[in-house]
Amino acid sequence: MPVAAVARDAVGYRPLLFSIAYGMTGSVGDAEDIVQDAFLGLTRADQAGTAITDLKAYLTTSVTRLGINHLGSARVRRETYMGEWLPEPVVMSADRPGPAEYAELADSLSMAFLLLLEALSPTERAVFMLREAFGYGYPEVARIIGKSEANCRQIFARARKRIAPEGQTIDRPPTPARRAEGDELARRFFEATAGGDMDALLDMLAPDVVFHGDGGGKARAIGKAMSGLRRVAQLLIGGFRRNRKLGVALQPARVNGRPGAVLSDAEGRVASVLELEIADGAIQAIHSVSNPDKLSHIGPVSDIALLPEK
């Protein structure tokens, strides 16, 4: 295949490659770096005269294995992370569409799903994600990972048992009808929260709702996950009351394929991103990311939530 044709076809796989790399790392920046490294590897292979018969297979294998290698150092960094670690949000908005890479991001890669994957080893994460989020068959997974098909089946079964013990189900991407219901619930949720309507809010939150906040030690956020219907409701209403005083505006968006919102200051700079996990007609979890390092890919970052430098 001519070099120009290889380059053109490789770019066409970029959205898929980004999705896989993001699923492995939970980081937009790291995913972009991994995809770029895979393209550089392809260029070197082409220059060396290496015959590549299946370009898609070559690139997905390269990205997955680079992701496995990356996770070792990433987990060392997370051991010293300040507060709770959440994935970098991937935001899609009707009036502010994200990069083309996001267009094919699997709806399965919600924050809740990515947090479940944190319990797995790098290889387990790759096998489980390729099967569960991207629907690869065991022969394809085995080729990508570089292990036998039987071994990959064992790895998948072990991974599923670790993150969904006793036959628990793992949330699937919502159907169009469920998605519409979730969007309507999210609209009412943000309206009630902004208006300080405690009764309406309590009706929309699950009894065991959990609020997760990630400030990375650089922005205001709760130190650890908070659970409990009334406690979370009070936290939300207090936070939105403070935001109103600061002139913060809320723009609904899809965050990691789920209903959410981008909060921006009076100058339009991003202050935080919220993602809602919805199931059984109620909000089960709320993920809030205010760490400025995880928001810069969305746009200019606000300083209203930043903590004073020590």
Largest CA distance in the chain: 67
The tens-digit pLDDT sequence of the chain (310 residues) is 444 556 677 888 999 999 999 999 999 999 999 999 999 999 888 888 877 889 999 999 999 999 999 998 777 678 888 999 999 999 987 555 566 667 667 677 899 999 999 999 999 999 999 999 999 999 999 999 999 999 999 999 999 999 887 656 676 777 788 889 999 999 999 999 999 999 999 999 999 999 999 999 999 999 899 999 999 999 999 999 999 999 999 999 999 989 999 999 999 999 999 999 999 999 999 999 999 999 999 999 999 988 776 5
pLDDT, one tens digit per residue, over 69-124 is 999 877 767 888 899 999 999 998 755 556 666 766 767 789 999 999 999 999 99
CB contact at 8 A, 91 and 98: yes
User: Per DSSP, which regions of the chain are E strands?
Assistant: 91-92, 205-214, 226-227, 249-255, 258-264, 270-279, 282-289
Structure confidence at residue 112 (pLDDT): 92
pTM of the model: 0.91
pLDDT, one tens digit per residue, over 37-69 is 999 999 888 888 877 889 999 999 999 999 999
> What one-character-per-residue DSSP string does 244-291 give?
HHTT-EEEEEEETTEEEEEEE-TTS-EEEEEEEEEETTEEEEEEEE--
Structure confidence at residue 122 (pLDDT): 95
Q: In degrees rounded to 5, what are phi and psi of residue 108?
A: -70, -15
Q: Which two tokens stand for residue 7?
A: 């380059």
Write down the H helix ranges in 48-133.
55-79, 111-117, 122-132
Structure confidence at residue 43 (pLDDT): 86
Measured CA to CA in angstroms, residue 181 lies from 52, 88, 116 at distances of 46, 25, 25
Type of residue at 161? K
Strand partners for 211: 226, 286
CB contact at 8 A, 184 and 153: no
Structure confidence at residue 2 (pLDDT): 46
DSSP state of 208: E
User: In 3D, which of 10, 6, 26, 218 has the Cα closest to residue 118?
Assistant: 26
Neighbours of 266 (CB within 10 A): 11
User: In 3D, which of 214, 251, 252, 258 has the Cα closest to residue 106?
Assistant: 258
Structure confidence at residue 177 (pLDDT): 86
